[in-house]
Structure 1
Amino acid sequence: MDEQAQWRDWLTLLRTPGLGPAGLRERLTAAQGRADRVLARLRQEAALLAPEARAWLERPDEARLAADLDWLAAPNHHLLRCTEPDFPPLLEHIPQAPVALFVSGDTSLLLRPQVAVVGARSASAAGKSVAGAFARQLAQAGFVITSGLADGIDGAAHQAALTEGLPTIAVIGTGPDRVYPRKHRPLQAQVEAAGAVVSEFLPGTAARADHFPRRNRIIAGLSLGTLVVEAGLQSGSLITARLAGEQGREVFAVPGSIHNPLARGCHRLIKEGVRLVEGASEIVETLAPAARALGVELARRLDQSPEAGTERDRLPSDGRRDDPDYRRLLDALGHAPAALDELAERTGQTAAVLSSMLLMLELEGRVEGLAGGRYQRLPGV
């Protein structure tokens, strides 16, 4: 089957009314990921389907499918399917895991360790400044900043990463060809060019209130941890925090003034046992083991793939091979195990900076962490 036909089958399946993600994933698994086989089975069972689904399968809207295919044909536009080996492994374990994601930009970023930074749309200037500072430091530490492209805290987090020349991921509550809010059209274009814009919703889908909780589960699901900066008691960010907790992820909250109504959501989270943080280094330290485990899981998945070599080539290095600081660190490390304090003395870098750099090198398979807090450069690097 040619590629165009495969995409058409997938889009036809995704547009079939009434098929929930759990049932669709089950059908795809049984059909070994073949959308055409799932469609054939659905048509055989047409009498059991809802009238809307039956009508769509009998006569799909060819104009709509053609528009979907046109969107996919554009440069850097992708449909990332759950049957592919580089589908984000963290999303596999969340309730109602998505069947596919529309991505504008670099799909490999979705495999990187991420931190979600979320908060109030009506954030204060101080709150946006705090969010930007956390996002900037986390991005510098090697984590991709993930958020929802909303006004306020979300926008400040995305912009902080972009200002540092580092990628960021925006998960949106519309189709991948829409922008919400409209004022963020330039920001969405920047994110797409330097990072990735992600949507579970089909092209042409407009913003709706119920889309944003669904978007929030993906923000939380992609991320190793979620940081909440300024949130009222009715904030949608608390939904993201709750979903992250239910998914077994770390949740962090920044405290604020007792007189600030936008601090009350964060204070409630802290009372409920969420980790209070005052600096990005606390998040980096907490998430480092999970980031290493994610790297191990990703390597295992790709090694089992028949296209393992191709997929591994797609893993990002962000120019670290040519970065003088990383080159200096590798030269200082040599091929004998060395402790962090030794490397700090050899390079002049702080332990916090070195920890972040070594984490990224370890995830790229260039450095191995050993017992006793030592590190060793791998052969051939």
Structure 2
Amino acid sequence: MDRDELGAWLRLATTPGIGNQTARKLLATFGLPTALFAQTEAALSQCVSERHARALVTVPPSWPELLEKTWQWLHASDLAEGTARAIITLGDVRYPKKLLDTEDPPLMLYVVGARAVVQGQPFAEGRCLAVVGSRNPTAQGADNAYQFAKALGATGLTIVSGLALGVDAAAHEGALAPIAPDRPLKQGDAPATIAVVGTGLDRVYPSRHLDLAHRIARHGLLVSEYPLGTPPLAPNFPKRNRIISGLSQGTLVVEAALASGSLITARLATEQGREVFAIPGSIHAPQSRGCHALIKQGAKLVESAQDVLEECRWALPAATSFTAGDTAVGTDEPAATVPQESALLQAMGYDPVGLDALVNRTGMDAASLQVQLLELELDGVVARLPGALFQRVGRG
């Protein structure tokens, strides 16, 4: 893409009052943006309103500066080794077909990622799964997101999420887990994970995910529809959810409250004709109520990664060690070999529980319980929660 072509796309995308739908109508009538901006106001008025036509022939004051900034960003020499940047427009052969088939595909996708992926076909068509959920998950919810993403990523799927706190971050981490940190992606490799963000790609939000974003760029993709310099504005995050679901064949909701962005993503997935999966949880956990509502509405209840693979009819690569007999998420160990759980873990159940309740259930004194709980916590089997509560996690 040369500078003039980039400038025309940027101008179309940032013209006040011109949304994606109107822009697509203009492109269908006049062709590429460079041809569109060669038209007179009268010619444009035959396609759109006079107000829109007037806006199109008026150069936005911020456009020259944005063009220069974007051009410099694309050609900067400060990129980490093995990574690349690109802007993929509706007219680009690399534009993801599944997203193009949705009701509101973005005009432009800003992309940062592994060079071999960005310069090839960046999006793993037909083998992407969105994993979304609460920004404040339970310990078990965060572990579920990590383990599902790790198990499914090991089968060659690309995990798509939003780089937010909580489930999103756990899903990205799980997808990256099977990959050796020093192994660069090769031409033809699928991205391990795709993070669709709600800001410009010249910033990372939340800032604590800077290291995670750098690792995603080495082994996957960071994607945004927003121009450089766009801050973390609240309306942008629900809007970007249509891209998360639109890139994916299915959406897995790990934990979600009844009013949450994750349910927006699930609704969008349904409207786009994609599969929706939900992991059931405790009836006492607010973070589970959204998943339970989705299941009541027809989402597929899943208990293992295998459930997702079977429902989407995704074939396993010959080299994978993930087997159909696995019932635990993210492990190659058959359920029959799982060691017998301790009496304390049996007494804990799967809901958050306080020390007084455990004293009543086990008959043990508080001091002995605290010692055992600390040991289980150090082993990664139990998590300590706010409010002096404990919860078992993972396989424990």
Cα deviation code 1:148-191 (max 9, x no counterpart): 00000000000111121172100001111121111111111111
Match of 1:307 in 2: none
Q: 2:65 aligned with 1:71, yes or no? A: no
Deviation at 1:352, TM superposition (A): 7.6
Q: 2:140 aligned with 1:126, yes or no? A: yes
Q: Alignment partner of 2:65: what SS?
A: helix
Q: Alignment partner of 1:49: what SS?
A: helix
| Count, aligned residues | 299
Q: Residue 228 of structure 1 contacts residue 254 of structure 1 at CA under 8 Å; is this kept in 2?
A: yes
Taking the TM superposition and a 5 Å limit, the aligned residue runs for 1:177-188 are: 177-188=202-213
Q: 2:93 aligned with 1:85, yes or no? A: yes
Match of 1:141 in 2: 155
**In 2, Cα distance between the equivalents of 1:38 and 1:352?**
57
Match of 1:193 in 2: 218
Deviation at 1:99, TM superposition (A): 1.3
**In 2, Cα distance between the equivalents of 1:51 and 1:7?**
21
Name the amino acid aligned to 1:41.
Q
Match of 2:285 in 1: 260
Name the amino acid aligned to 1:272.
Q
Name the amino acid aligned to 2:103.
P
Match of 2:371 in 1: none
Match of 1:314 in 2: none
**In 2, Cα distance between the equivalents of 1:350 and 1:55?**
60
Among candidates 234, 238, 242, match of residue 217 of structure 1: 242
Q: Residue 17 of structure 1 contacts residue 52 of structure 1 at CA under 8 Å; is this kept in 2?
A: no
Q: Residue 241 of structure 2 contacts residue 265 of structure 2 at CA under 8 Å; is this kept in 1?
A: yes
Match of 2:193 in 1: 168
Q: 2:269 aligned with 1:244, yes or no? A: yes
Q: 2:124 aligned with 1:111, yes or no? A: yes
Residue 27 to residue 61, structure 1, CA distance change in 2 (3 Å): closer
Taking the TM superposition and a 5 Å limit, the aligned residue runs for 1:1-381 are: 3-32=2-31, 34-41=32-39, 43=41, 45=44, 48-49=50-51, 53=55, 56-57=58-59, 61-74=63-76, 76-105=84-113, 106-107=117-118, 108-112=121-125, 113-165=127-179, 167-288=192-313, 326=319, 350=323
**In 2, Cα distance between the equivalents of 1:52 and 1:120?**
44
Q: Alignment partner of 1:104: what SS?
A: strand
TM-score, structure 2 normalization:
0.70
Residue 42 to residue 214, structure 1, CA distance change in 2 (3 Å): farther
**In 1, Cα distance between the equivalents of 2:95 and 2:195?**
17
Q: Residue 306 of structure 2 contacts residue 324 of structure 2 at CA under 8 Å; is this kept in 1?
A: no
Consecutive unaligned residues in structure 2, runs of 5 or more: 180-190, 327-396
Q: Alignment partner of 2:39: what SS?
A: helix
Q: Residue 132 of structure 2 contacts residue 262 of structure 2 at CA under 8 Å; is this kept in 1?
A: yes
Residue 79 to residue 352, structure 1, CA distance change in 2 (3 Å): farther
Residue 242 to residue 71, structure 1, CA distance change in 2 (3 Å): same
Q: Residue 43 of structure 1 contacts residue 57 of structure 1 at CA under 8 Å; is this kept in 2?
A: no
Deviation at 1:31, TM superposition (A): 3.0
Identity of aligned residues (%): 41
Name the amino acid aligned to 2:95.
F
